[in-house]
Structure 1
């Protein structure tokens, strides 16, 4: 009897040790708010005001699973599965014809991590998503995506069939390399994607740099909602006549500094779309043609001021200049946003934002989820976000 009890105790100890070395975490975000938008297109050149209940105003509502297993010798196996949903109607995020079968459309990766860094394979964002923590995306999120941060990838655009390597923290510096397989037989370059980036953190200073390039493929590989509201391929552009040709080049340079209670930041992005065909992400000119911008330069400045540990006041300005084929004037887009974010606890906050977007010589993409039909559109959003 004593031997049996001893054996059970030993087995229990081993089971407890195994459990301690492996863990799975369930996490998520539920973000919903009421949004008012002025001058929303109603068709036929007319506009009207719109009230709506929107999901994912700052951050897309999501649920995810991440885990780690200690393999010994400082090496760990890691995975992360994440799907998005629209909690205002209970639907899947991106439930269009192309992504309706993508369960873990936000992230689906597995890999190894250790003193050398981390290697991940699957569907994932490039390093622009990481350095967006130094930009207005960290404070205003999706409210500012139409003024350029969706096109320049700072909102977090995914690349399918990709492998990435991120270094360990090297005295404040972290680097990243990414490669996306085009998976096209007979033409290796078709649908390829490349990314290289890095960030440097030293006390109150944060700097980031990222470059991403994609080539046209024969079939869609990724889907994203772009500023004019059209769902199109983002990292692999379908262009049968130019398969393997460069479809998009994106450069991001960002910087942030914490002055006491105030964080100030500025950044610049350039997006070049060599193929310049409708069906690639971009801004539209005011003419009836469907051509989109072949080049766009984007500038941003902003601040987040902490009045208290719970309350932040926010402000940001984005300005974009876009070139179009056959247009002598540059399209101009300026968005000004102010707001407040109040944390009721470490996981729950209330927010209120006021934003105006103005367009000259180009289509006004609108502030939130609706395209404007005027040179100026204003939106007011009030919501709640809970993290678990």
Structure 2
């Protein structure tokens, strides 16, 4: 009897050890807010404007459900995976702007991790998404995307068919390399992408830099180059450089206040006057950041912890954009104020007010809506976010 009990105890110990060596975690975010927008464009491309109330999912962070796991392979080596699906909490639909029915649109990777760092293969964001933690994206999320951070990749743009290597933390420094396969027969450069980035954390100081370049093709790795609802790129421009993006960010914690600033430059060589069809007469109604040949984006902001539960937020974004064949620069300026109150570590309430102004270009509108012919738009949002 004693031998049987001893055997059971040993088997139980081994089972517990085996279970500890492999784990799968289910996690997610549900983020939903109600937004009042002034001077929103009327339906069907109308030129009139009117106020609008709407419920939007993913105001600060995209609503999502994810699965991540790790298996201890021994010798300090682990197998890892991460699958993450985005959804719209206000409707329950998949959050898939390209309408390609992509289940794990946000992330789909598998790889190896150890003392050398981490290697991941699949669909993933480049390092601009990592260093966005030092910017207003960490506090305001999608509210600031239309003033430039969606174009400069700080909002988290995916690269398909990619492999990335991230170093281990080296005395505060972490580096990253990425390559995306264009998967085009007969032309390796068609649709390919690559990125190089790094960050440095030292107490209150945070610094980050990232460079990303992608080329057009029939199946571009850079998902920002996909058009329509087919998940395809522009085959006629195969192998031509379509996007060059540089981000430089910095953040410093002064007691209860975090202050930050950053600059990004985006060059889109394929955006020519012939391609966009822009004229001086249509500039203020059709010239968007996505059609610019070059854009410089600047930001300053702060997050002040008034108490352990309450943060007061403020930021300003300024963007200058050049359009092929047109003199002068289009300008966007966005002002944001907000408050974020944490009911617990996992649940918070937030309120934002933002004003976005455009000069010599179309006003894209504060996230979620667009303007008609008005150069200024204001949006007020209140919402709740829960993490699990």
Contact residue 24 and residue 70 of structure 2 kept, 8 A:
yes
Question: Displacement of 1:356 after TM fit?
Answer: 0.2
Q: Summarize the Cα distance change of 1:203–1:316 in structure 2 as closer, same or farther, 3 Å threshold.
A: same
Partner of residue 286 from structure 1, selected from 284, 287, 292: 284
Deviations 1:308-338 (CA, angstroms, capped at 9, x unpaired)? 0110000000000000012112000000000
Contact residue 106 and residue 124 of structure 1 kept, 8 A:
yes
Answer with 35-44 or 205-214: which moved more.
35-44
Alignment partners' CA distance in 2, 1:177 and 1:237: 25
Alignment partners' CA distance in 1, 2:130 and 2:97: 25
Q: What TM-score do you get using the length of structure 2 for normalisation? A: 0.93
Contact residue 237 and residue 247 of structure 1 kept, 8 A:
no
Contact residue 287 and residue 361 of structure 2 kept, 8 A:
no
Alignment partners' CA distance in 2, 1:219 and 1:351: 39
1:111 and 2:82 aligned: no
Deviations 1:158-186 (CA, angstroms, capped at 9, x unpaired)? 00000000000111100000000011111
Q: Which residue of 1 aligns with 2:67?
A: 65
Partner of residue 243 from structure 2, selected from 234, 248, 251: 248
Alignment partners' CA distance in 2, 1:381 and 1:302: 19
Q: Which residue of 2 aligns with 1:318?
A: 317
Contact residue 65 and residue 82 of structure 1 kept, 8 A:
yes
Q: What TM-score do you get using the length of structure 1 for normalisation? A: 0.93
Alignment partners' CA distance in 1, 2:170 and 2:146: 35
Answer with 354-363 or 239-248: which moved more.
239-248
Alignment partners' CA distance in 2, 1:119 and 1:288: 42
Matched residue count: 377
Question: Displacement of 1:219 after TM fit?
Answer: 3.2
Question: Displacement of 1:220 after TM fit?
Answer: 5.2
Q: Which residue of 2 aligns with 1:273?
A: 268
Alignment partners' CA distance in 2, 1:7 and 1:370: 66
Contact residue 286 and residue 362 of structure 2 kept, 8 A:
no
Question: Displacement of 1:2 after TM fit?
Answer: 4.8
Alignment partners' CA distance in 2, 1:173 and 1:326: 43
Q: Summarize the Cα distance change of 1:299–1:195 in structure 2 as closer, same or farther, 3 Å threshold.
A: same
Contact residue 191 and residue 237 of structure 1 kept, 8 A:
no
Question: Displacement of 1:370 after TM fit?
Answer: 1.3
Q: SS of 2:291's equivalent?
A: coil
Question: Displacement of 1:95 after TM fit?
Answer: 5.7
Q: Summarize the Cα distance change of 1:350–1:265 in structure 2 as closer, same or farther, 3 Å threshold.
A: same
Deviations 1:271-291 (CA, angstroms, capped at 9, x unpaired)? 00011169x99x993265899
Alignment partners' CA distance in 2, 1:177 and 1:134: 20
Alignment partners' CA distance in 1, 2:238 and 2:313: 44
1:53 and 2:55 aligned: yes
Question: Displacement of 1:72 after TM fit?
Answer: 1.1
Q: SS of 2:284's equivalent?
A: coil
Answer with 266-275 or 289-298: which moved more.
289-298
1:25 and 2:30 aligned: no
Question: Displacement of 1:44 after TM fit?
Answer: 3.2
Measured on the aligned residues, the alpha-carbon RMSD in Å equals 2.2
Q: SS of 1:318's equivalent?
A: strand
Deviations 1:240-264 (CA, angstroms, capped at 9, x unpaired)? 2321010100000000000000000
Contact residue 216 and residue 237 of structure 1 kept, 8 A:
no
Question: Displacement of 1:47 after TM fit?
Answer: 0.3
Q: Which residue of 2 aligns with 1:264?
A: 259
Q: SS of 2:292's equivalent?
A: coil
Q: SS of 1:335's equivalent?
A: strand
Q: Which residue of 2 aligns with 1:88?
A: 90
Q: Is there any run of 5+ residues in structure 2 with no aligned partner, and where? A: none
Q: Which residue of 1 aligns with 2:384?
A: 384
Q: SS of 1:338's equivalent?
A: strand
User: Which structure 2 residues correspond to residues 1-388 of structure 1 after superposition, within 5 A?
Assistant: 2-42=2-42, 43-94=45-96, 96-97=98-99, 100-219=100-219, 221=221, 223=223, 232=227, 238-276=233-271, 285-286=283-284, 292-373=291-372, 374-388=374-388
Contact residue 164 and residue 176 of structure 1 kept, 8 A:
yes
Question: Displacement of 1:94 after TM fit?
Answer: 1.0
Q: Summarize the Cα distance change of 1:44–1:89 in structure 2 as closer, same or farther, 3 Å threshold.
A: closer
